[in-house]
């Protein structure tokens, strides 16, 4: 079976084995989800201030979240995607949302995406029946999403909308 889930006792036992700790070069006991690590450097940097520079450099960006994530919910991520200030914002808002189908033809989520300049891409993907850990809770949907993102086919055609720098009118 798989492991790696938050709070998984098997992972904790494995990481506390002496031979594993020796190989990893650690001497402290591993404890899953310690608040000490979570809050010791709790400096929140809004990512929407970093994303426009990445998009301008034609780096593909895909925001995704599970529709059942109560920690960082999809509504907040979609708000970031919709309100982020960048030259392609209007085209992104005009791009249609559509049901993203898995290999079996069943929708695995809702996607909106555009091509940006020549090689860039920006999209927001709401994954159905998943919480905070999309790859753990919907592994097939996550694999499809990642593979399609890498292959540049996040849309009903290779991309939903193309936007050239400085031109906010979409080309289909």
- As a whole number of angstroms, the distance between CA 143 and CA 125 comes to 13
pLDDT of residue 48: 78
Show me where the domains of the chain are located. Answer: 9-40, 47-163
pLDDT in tens, the chain (172 residues): 454 555 678 888 888 999 988 888 888 888 776 555 555 555 667 777 899 999 999 999 999 999 999 888 999 999 999 999 999 999 999 999 999 998 899 999 999 999 888 888 899 999 999 999 999 999 999 999 999 988 888 765 444 444 554 443 333 3
Q: Which of 151, 74, 84 is nearest to 109 (CA)?
A: 74
pLDDT of residue 170: 38
- As a whole number of angstroms, the distance between CA 111 and CA 80 comes to 15
pLDDT of residue 96: 92
Query: E strands of 8-143, at which residues?
Result: 61-66, 98-101, 107-116, 120-127
Exposed, middle or buried by CB within 10 Å (0-12, 13-18, 19+), for 38?
Answer: exposed
pLDDT of residue 1: 46
pLDDT of residue 83: 93
- As a whole number of angstroms, the distance between CA 115 and CA 156 comes to 12
How would CATH label the architecture of 47-163? 3-Layer(aba) Sandwich (3.40)
pLDDT of residue 155: 65
- As a whole number of angstroms, the distance between CA 134 and CA 136 comes to 5
pLDDT of residue 168: 39
């Amino acid at each position: 079976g798989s492991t790696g889930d938050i709070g998984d006792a098997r992972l904790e036992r494995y990481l506390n084995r002496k031979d594993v700790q020796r190989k990893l070069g650690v001497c402290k006991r591993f404890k899953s989800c310690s608040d000490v690590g979570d809050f010791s450097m709790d400096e929140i940097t809004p990512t929407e201030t970093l994303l426009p520079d990445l998009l301008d450099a034609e780096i593909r960006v895909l925001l995704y979240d599970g529709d059942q994530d109560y920690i960082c919910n999809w509504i907040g991520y979609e708000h970031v995607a919709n309100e982020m200030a960048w030259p392609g914002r209007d085209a992104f808002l005009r791009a249609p949302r559509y049901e993203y189908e898995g290999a079996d033809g069943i929708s695995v989520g809702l996607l909106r995406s555009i091509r940006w300049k020549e090689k860039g891409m920006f999209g927001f993907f709401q994954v159905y029946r998943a919480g905070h850990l999309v790859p753990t809770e919907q592994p097939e949907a996550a694999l499809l999403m990642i593979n399609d993102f890498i292959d540049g086919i996040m849309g009903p055609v290779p991309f939903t909308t193309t936007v050239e720098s400085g031109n906010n009118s979409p080309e289909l």
